[in-house]
Chains A and B, each alone.
Chain A
Amino acid sequence: MSAIKVITETCTGCGLCVKACPYEAITVVDKIAEIDLHKCTLCGSCVDVCPFDSIEINVERKAVEGMEEYRGVWIFAEQRDGEIQSVAYELLGAGQRLARARNTELSAVLIGYQVEGLAAALFQRGADNVYLADDPALADYNDEPYARILAGLVRRYKPEIVLCGATAMGRALIPRAATELGTGLTADCTGLEIDKETGHLLQTRPAFGGNIMATILCEHHRPQMATVRHKVMAEAAVDPGRTGGTLIRVEPTPDDLMSRTRVLEVIKEEEETANITEADIIVSGGRGLKTPENFALLTDLARELGGAVGASRAAVDAGWINYAHQVGQTGKTVKPKVYITAGISGAIQHLVGMSSSDTIIAINKDPQAPIFKAADYGLVGDLFEIIPLLIERLKKG
């Protein structure tokens, strides 16, 4: 029997499923939906839109044994050069919420060399426990030992949820650990909630270039693992009342520390402008700026406001500004207090990178531009007239 089936008795051939299928796998033949199983990926879009419940996806799945032993929410506390990366505090923020909903403890995993002192900051931001692996061989991030240690800890202490930043480190580490554990991993979640009825983690993320959102479940395996991009979730606040917690030291074995890769050197590349992921105000330019020289106009405005300069992919692809400034699905996710766009149309791939900014201001001469739907303030006009005037007015104070 195949995993997906049309119930021919109730199907009316309305064709809603045909439209909903992202893979063109459904056609209506003689007023009944027919699914091409070669094309179908079992994504379930058709099941959701069918008004007659005429499509069923049926897969036999068994919960792995001992699933109920898994308790607690874990976050991976990324540190580089002895400094906790702020994405870890964001994970603690999300983790606190989930731990509360599950009525369980929140723990952080800290790996490195001479990093014990960093545990205090994790306790202060809500961690009940910190698992610490501290060894000279762990001074630099290294895929194999880090993943092995994390997977080993999970096997031993059995958390139900493990969260990690979708950073260069996290994206190398966590799929290795999840694969070793044979469990599910959901990338780049923008929403994490506990299903009130079942207690499972509902992991929501953009798919198809941000055009649709998908909620992913990992129902029969533990732990449920997810990555979250930097600047998507709010940081856990410091609670000065929390002075400590339980520190659990783990001694890595020589086998744990074995690695076939080695970091020879770290190349630091300072960006010429403020790092846009940390800026409070960002002024972003797109194709509407027309030439690289015109970016100077944005730089002026950014300077006036004490902000950083961002860009759409169109501007980056044209070579007007380098990739480090790109905001969006394939660029950075930002969450400043104020995000200003000039000459950006507001394609979904751009919006997913900036729509959680506190206030969005758009300048565009096309009143129909989609950016205006996302903007709190829309300035409909020519940016080459508006921006110089704005700078002038701001200078006057």
Chain B
Amino acid sequence: MNIVVCIKQVPDTAEVRIDPETNTLIREGVASILNPFDTYALEEALQIREKLGGTVTAVTMGPPQAEAILREAVSMGVDRTLLISDRAFAGADTLATSYTLAKAIEKIGQVDLILCGKQAIDGDTAQVGPGIAVHLGIPQIIFVRKIREISEEKLVAERMIESGAEVVESSLPALVSVVKDINTPRLPSLRGRMAAKNAEIPVWTAADLAVEEARLGLKGSPTWVHKIFSPPAKTGGKVFTGEAADIVDAFMKEVRENQLFS
């Protein structure tokens, strides 16, 4: 079983804040991390390899410093890594990103299963996975919380929906995106960490892929950011302070006057 896991480096959005005075992003000390959902995809790939044999390749499209997350993937135990990096990819939206990743996966060849995270926390779109599947002409099962069965030919997975889950069977090759209920990602072993330090990270540029230039990066992106702004600041409403009994008295008066609960 040859598995490709698509992973992405993202800013740790928990740390990103707005400077209330200048209304700009404060990004001092904001670390770049491996997209949390993608660690579950990596773990799932490793578990499948342990069962069925084969190789796991971690792929990312990003700037040169994105190789850090590929090293992290090596430390968890993936066999191969691949950094897809070129200035021509800058400004890619989900369509151009999924096109580029699909072309890279085609070049890797003989891929049976592609795993993605549910979404990347910088954009939260969850669109790249299905996009890759369509570019490759393969089926998908997204938001998977459990892979029940997997063989060389097919897989059966539970996919989360609003009212519970759907059990879906798919032929392979297929693309699967995973949610965090699926597993508990392993911590890197000491040997893994050593391997990560020494790993050679292969880099493919646009010239290495059979791509149409016009479909890459900003140029190949139908959508682009027109404007970025801070959410309007709220000032707050009535505030009640003092002893608990006084607070509740004053508040209950408002409740009655404004019929809040009726």
Check A381 against B63 for contact (C-beta < 8 Å).
Answer: no
Whether A175 contacts B94 by the Cβ 8 Å rule is yes
Q: Choose, from B14-22, B72-80, B187-195, the stretch at the interface.
A: B14-22
A249 sits at the interface (CB 8 A) = no
State how many residues of chain B have any CB contact under 8 Å with chain A.
92
Across-interface contacts of B91 in A (CB, < 8 A): 3, 40-43, 59
Q: Which of B101-156 contact A (CB under 8 A)?
A: 121-127, 129-131, 133-135, 138-143, 156
Contact partners of A59 in chain B: CB under 8 A: 91, 218-219
Query: What mask results when residues 235 to 266 of chain A are scored 1 for a CB within 8 Å of chain B, else 0?
Result: 00000000000000000000000011111111
B251 touches which of A45, A185, A209, A377 (Cβ 8 Å): A377
Known: A175-B94, A374-B236. A211 touches B17 (CB 8 A): yes
Please pick, from A22, A143, A262, A382, the residue contacting B25 in the complex, using a CB distance under 8 A: A22
Q: Is B167's CB under 8 angstroms from A380's CB? A: no
Q: Mark B211-252, 1 if CB is under 8 A from A, else 0.
A: 000000111011111111111011111111111110110011
Kindly state the interface size class of chain A when it binds its partner: 35 or more
- Least CB distance from A355 to B in Å reads 8
- Determine whether A386 belongs to the interface, using a CB cutoff of 8 Å to chain B: yes
In the bound assembly, the distance between CA atoms of A393 and B174 in angstroms comes to: 58
Closest to A187 in B: B125
Number of A-B contacts (CB under 8 A): 285
Which residue from chain A places its CB closest to the CB of B130 in the assembled complex? A175
| Known pairs A38-B85, A42-B218, A212-B231 / 17 extra A-B pairs, C-beta < 8 Å | A3-B218, A22-B27, A43-B225, A143-B130, A176-B133, A179-B135, A207-B122, A208-B11, A208-B25, A211-B17, A212-B228, A213-B228, A213-B230, A263-B168, A264-B169, A267-B166, A338-B260
A-B pairs, top 8 by smallest CB distance, nearest first, are: A184-B222, A209-B13, A42-B91, A184-B223, A269-B164, A385-B244, A376-B237, A175-B130
11 example contacts (A-B, Cβ-Cβ < 8 A) are as follows A2-B87, A3-B219, A37-B90, A45-B228, A61-B219, A216-B223, A266-B164, A374-B236, A378-B237, A382-B244, A389-B248
Tell me the B residues contacting A by CB distance below 8 Å: 11, 13-14, 16-19, 22, 24-25, 27, 63-65, 85, 87, 90-91, 93-95, 98, 121-127, 129-131, 133-135, 138-143, 156, 158-171, 174, 181, 217-219, 221-231, 233-245, 247-248, 251-252, 254, 260-261
